[in-house]
Structure 1
């Protein structure tokens, strides 16, 4: 009974139209109240029904428009569409905020493409990246186990996720930030090291926020600029970054990095940043970090 009452309240205008139209039609057919239901009275009743029907149609259009507007506030995309949406987000933007795991995709695709476009258009670019702290071994171990739980097979880089890979990927993102900072003077880049692992990845440009999951098979969400979700996630990314451990990239400016940085240059850069590499790292390990920094592979291909 409660559901019936609720339905009647929600559709009161439509029910009223049906009742009036039905009553007039039935009484006219029966020939009752002929003195009351003159042709003029019936015409007026018809006009009343049409007016009420117009109100119902207008309300329905308004409801539909509102539903479409709300639906436009968020878009769901799947695996193959993510790269296309990322490319659209990069187009013409001078801002990119990232929060995620180790920044592998950021380093492989987003950062080089954003820098390339900014350089071609001779405009400044600001990048903010929050990644997991490579010196936090328990955190990196937790992240690698999470990635292994999603898939034990190699990703687009040809590698499986392990503790050492996780740490090296984060170190490589830091080194890549130093390298791009030296290569493009109009780049303002900040790196923050998080002590918390997230299963989501956020990318924000001037046109949209893209929220993806580490599992490429899972659906992703896109929030256009100007919508409440965009502003909310923008605030979240700024607030989260402030809570991370900031890397003062300026401290490594005196360490000139070659187009292909050497092992010694990489070690010197990390030392200048106050980020100690594990003592067990050999030159081969550092060379692997350099390779990931300069020639990162798209993990989602």
Structure 2
């Protein structure tokens, strides 16, 4: 009895809130019971009485169901009006805000990606690999630095060889120290010696004379490669100021190195840093003293240029070699131009 009373107490609040539904449920149970009861339980006319009770109960159930539907619709009307007049009316404004947020998120993501793609390289191996990746399928190369020793030893010959292999056009822009400007050559040599007074990877120490020869060699190498590959578009600018950085910019990435052979920075094409460095190198090259590379047809250089060929070339392009240079100095320039040693070899 106690269990029945407790169950009744639990059901009573629900039945009070849903009286129409509860009555309909009760009548449905009664109708079901009447439908399965024997006909003779109601007397001689039990069949007719039973049909009348079922019909009456069915009508009451339908009425209660209709009442419940009308009540639910009446309850939902204020909610629908609130949704229609409130949330839906503000939907365009919220969508506009959502688009603004999406735009902000996209811009932030691009900025973060750009920052992530400016990466510091911390070893010779990483720097060498970055240069190798930059040379892969390169169609253009821009260099700005001191005398271009690594450019002559590795970058230029390998880029030209790769372009020749697939008959691809190659554009190269080089900016190095003006060898005829003695003051800037001495300044650069003093700077390099102040960082290290021991020979570098080439086995030589830095002097003003070496700076001049290295720059002359870069000029000679440009003419020599231009004569041997017709799809090479190469230009050289001579700078009257020195820089402590070296920029190598290819089709796919930028590599900026310093005198420390184990430190460099790289950025991929399309990033903020890459694009601004590209602009910087273009403007700097335009302001440099340009070497007339179109004169490459005037003096034919042998596979192993002779002293006379080298001297005539520099005379034709109005960058004559110093009068103090003898044949050994000219041979040294030719050697540096075509058989330069990698200064970063351990």
TM-score by length of 2: 0.67
Compare relative contact order (CA 8 Å, sep 6+) and give the higher one, 1 or 2: 1
Once the two structures are superposed, residues 205-250 of structure 1 have per-residue CA deviations (whole angstroms, 9 ceiling, x without a partner) of 0111111112314x21111111111110000000000000000011
Question: Paired residue for 1:126?
Answer: 171
TM-score by length of 1: 0.77
Question: Paired residue for 1:169?
Answer: 214
Task: Report if aligned partners of 2:238, 2:289 keep a CA contact under 8 Å in 1.
Answer: yes
Match of 2:298 among 233, 238, 254: 254
Structure 1 unaligned spans of 5+: 1-58
Alpha-carbon distance in 1 for matches of 2:192, 2:241? 15
1:69 deviates by: 1.8
Match of 1:75 among 111, 119, 123: 119
Question: Paired residue for 1:280?
Answer: 324
Question: Paired residue for 1:91?
Answer: 136
Larger Rg: 2
Task: Report if aligned partners of 1:206, 1:225 keep a CA contact under 8 Å in 2.
Answer: yes
**Bigger shift: residues 259-268 or 64-73:** 64-73
Alpha-carbon distance in 1 for matches of 2:269, 2:287? 24
Q: 1:225 aligned to 2:242? A: no
Q: 1:112 aligned to 2:153? A: no
Task: Report if aligned partners of 1:252, 1:272 keep a CA contact under 8 Å in 2.
Answer: no
Aligned pairs (5 A) from 1:143-292: 143-217=188-262, 219-292=263-336
Once the two structures are superposed, residues 138-158 of structure 1 have per-residue CA deviations (whole angstroms, 9 ceiling, x without a partner) of 100000011101111111111
Once the two structures are superposed, residues 79-108 of structure 1 have per-residue CA deviations (whole angstroms, 9 ceiling, x without a partner) of 321111000000001100000000111000
Alpha-carbon distance in 2 for matches of 1:284, 1:145? 24
Alpha-carbon distance in 2 for matches of 1:136, 1:77? 33
Task: Report if aligned partners of 1:150, 1:215 keep a CA contact under 8 Å in 2.
Answer: no
1:276 deviates by: 1.2
> SS state of the match for residue 205, structure 2?
coil
Structure with the higher fraction of residues in helix conformation: 2
Structure 2 unaligned spans of 5+: 1-101
Q: How many residues align?
A: 241
Once the two structures are superposed, residues 101-133 of structure 1 have per-residue CA deviations (whole angstroms, 9 ceiling, x without a partner) of 001110000000000100011111000000000
